[in-house]
Structure formats: structure tokens, C-alpha cells
């Protein structure tokens, strides 16, 4: 894999050697088993259609750089209503719901989105799926609702603890699914992950197994093996100087935006309503890592991760980790896929300059619940192709008649997961949820003592095309 010039070719679909029998709703009533491969063949026809990039976006580099530099403000309009969750460890998540103010049946599906490295609900690749997915059926949409889980410090979410996020930290997604199950107990949750968020989502599915609150997931541009992909990224000139340093610069800018929360150790102030007490030693380590990271000069991603992410990218008992390499080994998702027990569709591009290594055979996946699709073009979260016969050049997507190939397969998979699959596992239901005496939303007898949340004030309506990336931040990664 790697960046090369591509022309119109059909994607390669890798089914498991022994696809699982998935319980589905049968026409006319009743339920019964169906092969995962047959379900994909019947319900996801776009996976067999060619990806045909325009002549000026033929390579993975061009597709990726257009995703970074393109003007997407006039396409895929999405408006969100934000809810802030305060976590028991003191951190804050920002959940952006769409469409706001709409009334849905209790069992209307919810698409749960995890964005890329330093992105958020404003990202064009997120809106490319949510705009049609959340449009009314009368307008050609799926009529679903969605929520983007904005990681700590991303998309305007404040940092309120001595911790950020990382490819291996799944607790914040887990808490979001618990909150959603509490708020909408009859609504199936459908996962949609991009890049780093795709890795988080696959790890969550593997950790939860049959008890996952996500009924299925579609992940795009997943980095899978972080050790191999970081090595490959930093052993080419463009990989190191453009992509690796660009992503590290984004992360440095996240730290700068939240300097007041990270630059010094505050006196410990455990919540009187929580049994969870902040780890003062970990807080001191994160502060030291913050200052060390800001002293770096144009670091590649591995140097930033070795300086900060291995320390502040998660919480005890796993964090801090010994090195960037230890972080990559722990946080990779390729080796946990065999533990996934919910249907998973993974789409990668063979010319992705950021994710050079992706599974290329069923044996590499090792899961009867997982289907891997590889396109011969598309770059990293690009997949731009003409939406009409016109071939134009520029940066304003609304004037170029471009669309993203990946949108249709993602929508088809989400419809399959929502309307065909039987939800839940009768023998392995998720844990019950309570609101404890102090107002924390928690799982009953949850193994993670510090996992709980409460709503806090501050949410508002947000136009996804106006929630701009911060100055100096690259979009699209």
C-alpha cells in the first residue's frame, strides 16, 4: 500500500473465511440467521461500484491534501445541539446531536460518530455522511439521528482535567454510549468512526464483545497497526515532513489552546459526590509532559507521542506508558479484531499516505463479524469523485460537482444495521444503568469505578460549517 496514481477500479471486498450467521428480521415477520457476506452482497451494492477520481485528484497524496485544503463550507450543511458531560475523573466531553429540536420515535436509530485525530463534528468527512443520514426520508435521507462524540479539547470542548485522549483510550466513547442508552433506552446505537476515531471504535467493540452498546460499526481510514503505520509514515520524505509533522503540529496546537488547564498542577479537589479521586502523581506527569511538548520544534508524530501522548493520552491504570512504541503497541486495533462480536465494515484505501498498512486478507482480520473493503484510490478520508459529467478544478467543493464515494456504502451499511439486523444479545445484555444518589449516570456493578457522567451547562446550537477549526490546525486528518 502507499500513494500511487489510481484509475477507476472496483473495490476489493474481503469476507471472513467463515462469516458469522447474523440474526436478522425476516420479511413478513419473524427472525432468522443470515450470512454476513450475503447481507453485504444484498444490502450494500455500492461496495461493488467503481471509485473513479477526477483526473486532477488521481493520487492518494492529492486526495488527502484536497481533504485538508478544500473549502467545504457550502456543502453538507449540518446543525447540532451540543450537550456537555462532566466525567467522574473531572474531564468533559462534548456531544453534538443532530438534527436539533426534532421529534423521533423512541426506537429511532442513533449514529454515534468518532472523529479523526484533532477533528470534531465540523469535519467535512463527518458531515458528508450525517447530512444525508439525518435528512428526512421525504427528502431522500435515512431519517436517523446522530451524535458526534467530540474528544476532550476538540471542537471547542474545554479541557477540565489533566488528560486528553488518544487512539487507545476507549473510556470516553464507552461513557457516551452509556449516557445515550440512559437517555434513549430503546434506540439502537450505530457506530461510525474515522481515522483515529475508527481505531478507538474498533477497540471498544473488541473490549465489549457481545455486550457492546454499539450494534454495529462502519470505520473508515482506520490506522489499525500503529507501529507499522507510524514507521512507514516517518520513513518517507512526504510522510515525515508533511503528514507526520502536520498531525503533530495539530496536537501541539490543541495543547496551546488549553494551556490554562494543563500548565500547572492544581491543588487536589476531589468531588464530594464522587468516590473517584484525581491522581496527583499522574497530574504532575501530564503537566511536565505538556511543557516538554511545547518546547519541541516541528516534531514528527512519534516524538510528540513519546513526549505527551504516552503520558496524557489516557488515565490510570494503563497510562502513563513507557514510550511512544509502547503506546502504539497497546493502542493498535488490528490485534483485537478477533474479539469483535458485532458486525463491522472497515473501508481503507490502498493509496492512503497516512495509513500505509491495512488488512489485505481475511486471515489478517481473523473475525467472522468483520468485512474489510479496500479501494485502489481515495487517499486518507478523501474518496472524491465527480458527481456529474463536469470536470472542474479549484477548492470550493460546492462549485466542483464532487462527492465522496464512501458516503453511499456507509449509508447502506447504516440502513442494514438499523433496519435489518436484530439488536441486542439475549444471553449477553449490557449492564443496567442507574443514576446514583449523587446524580452520576453509571452502570450497575460496573468494573470501572471511575466511569460515570453528569450533564453540565453550556451547550448550544452549532452550525457544523461555521464551527471552524482553530487557527493553525489542519482539517481532514
Our answer to whether residue 380 is catalytic in this structure is yes
Our answer to whether residue 302 is catalytic in this structure is no
- The three-class DSSP label of residue 229 is helix
Grid coordinates belonging to 235 = 520513513
DSSP E strand boundaries for 90-249: 92-98, 110-114, 145-150, 189-194, 214-220
* Gap between the Cα atoms of 190 and 80, Å rounded: 18
User: Is there a contact between 375 and 11 (Cβ–Cβ < 8 Å)?
Assistant: yes
DSSP H helices in 170-244: 171-183, 196-208, 226-233, 237-238
Question: How close are the terminal C-alpha atoms of the chain, in Å?
Answer: 18
Question: Phi/psi zone of residue 379: left (φ > 0), alpha (ψ -120 to 50 degrees), beta?
Answer: left
Give me the catalytic one of 59, 67, 121, 195: 195
Q: What share of the chain is helix, strand, coil (3-state, %, to 5)?
A: 35, 20, 50
Our answer to whether residue 428 is catalytic in this structure is no
Grid coordinates belonging to 283 = 497530574
Give me the catalytic one of 172, 225, 352, 376: 352
Nearest to 345 by CA among 294, 278, 417, 293: 417
Q: Which residues are catalytic, by number?
A: 195, 352, 380
Amino acid at each position: 500500500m502507499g500513494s500511487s496514481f489510481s484509475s477507476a477500479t472496483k473495490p476489493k471486498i474481503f469476507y471472513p473465511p467463515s462469516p458469522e450467521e447474523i440474526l436478522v428480521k425476516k420479511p413478513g415477520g419473524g427472525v432468522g440467521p443470515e450470512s454476513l457476506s450475503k447481507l453485504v452482497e444484498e444490502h450494500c451494492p455500492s461496495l461493488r461500484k467503481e471509485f473513479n477520481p477526477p483526473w486532477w485528484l488521481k493520487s492518494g497524496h492529492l486526495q488527502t491534501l484536497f481533504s485538508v485544503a478544500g473549502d467545504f463550507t457550502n456543502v453538507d450543511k449540518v446543525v447540532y445541539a451540543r450537550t456537555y458531560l462532566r466525567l467522574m475523573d473531572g474531564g468533559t466531553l462534548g456531544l453534538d446531536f443532530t438534527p436539533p429540536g426534532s421529534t423521533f420515535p423512541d426506537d429511532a436509530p442513533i449514529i454515534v460518530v468518532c472523529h479523526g485525530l484533532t477533528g470534531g463534528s465540523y469535519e467535512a468527512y463527518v458531515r458528508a455522511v450525517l447530512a444525508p443520514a439525518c435528512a428526512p426520508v421525504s427528502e431522500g435521507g435515512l431519517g436517523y439521528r446522530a451524535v458526534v462524540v467530540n474528544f476532550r479539547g476538540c471542537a471547542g470542548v474545554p479541557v477540565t482535567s489533566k488528560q486528553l485522549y488518544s487512539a487507545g483510550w476507549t473510556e470516553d466513547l464507552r461513557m457516551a454510549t452509556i449516557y445515550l442508552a440512559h437517555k434513549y433506552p430503546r434506540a439502537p446505537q450505530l457506530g461510525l468512526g474515522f481515522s483515529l476515531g475508527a481505531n478507538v471504535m474498533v477497540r471498544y467493540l473488541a473490549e465489549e464483545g457481545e455486550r457492546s452498546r454499539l450494534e454495529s460499526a462502519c470505520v473508515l481510514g482506520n490506522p489499525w497497526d500503529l507501529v507499522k503505520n507510524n514507521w512507514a509514515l516517518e520513513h518517507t520524505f512526504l510522510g515525515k515532513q508533511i503528514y507526520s509533522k502536520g498531525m503533530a503540529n495539530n496536537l501541539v496546537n490543541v495543547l496551546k489552546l488549553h494551556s490554562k488547564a494543563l500548565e500547572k498542577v492544581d491543588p487536589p479537589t476531589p468531588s464530594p459526590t464522587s468516590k473517584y479521586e484525581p491522581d496527583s502523581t499522574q497530574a504532575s506527569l501530564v503537566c511536565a509532559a505538556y511543557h516538554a511538548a511545547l518546547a519541541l520544534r516541528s516534531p514528527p508524530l512519534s516524538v510528540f507521542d513519546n513526549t505527551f501522548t504516552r503520558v496524557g493520552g489516557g488515565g490510570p491504570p494503563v497510562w502513563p506508558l513507557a514510550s511512544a512504541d509502547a503506546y502504539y503497541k497497546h493502542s493498535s486495533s488490528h490485534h483485537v479484531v478477533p474479539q469483535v462480536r458485532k458486525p463491522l465494515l472497515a473501508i481503507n484505501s490502498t493509496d492512503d499516505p497516512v495509513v500505509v498498512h491495512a488488512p489485505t486478507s481475511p486471515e489478517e482480520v481473523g473475525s467472522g463479524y468483520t468485512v474489510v473493503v479496500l479501494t485502489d484510490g481515495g487517499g486518507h478520508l478523501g474518496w472524491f469523485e465527480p458527481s456529474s459529467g463536469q470536470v472542474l478544478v479549484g477548492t470550493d467543493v460546492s462549485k466542483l460537482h464532487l462527492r465522496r464515494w464512501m458516503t453511499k456504502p456507509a449509508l447502506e451499511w447504516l440502513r442494514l444495521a438499523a433496519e435489518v439486523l436484530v439488536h441486542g444479545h439475549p444471553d449477553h445484555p449490557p449492564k443496567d444503568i442507574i443514576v446514583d444518589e449523587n446524580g452520576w449516570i453509571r452502570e450497575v456493578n460496573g468494573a470501572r469505578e471511575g466511569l460515570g457522567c453528569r450533564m453540565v451547562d453550556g451547550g448550544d446550537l452549532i452550525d457544523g460549517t461555521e464551527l471552524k477549526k482553530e487557527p493553525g490546525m489542519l482539517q481532514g486528518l
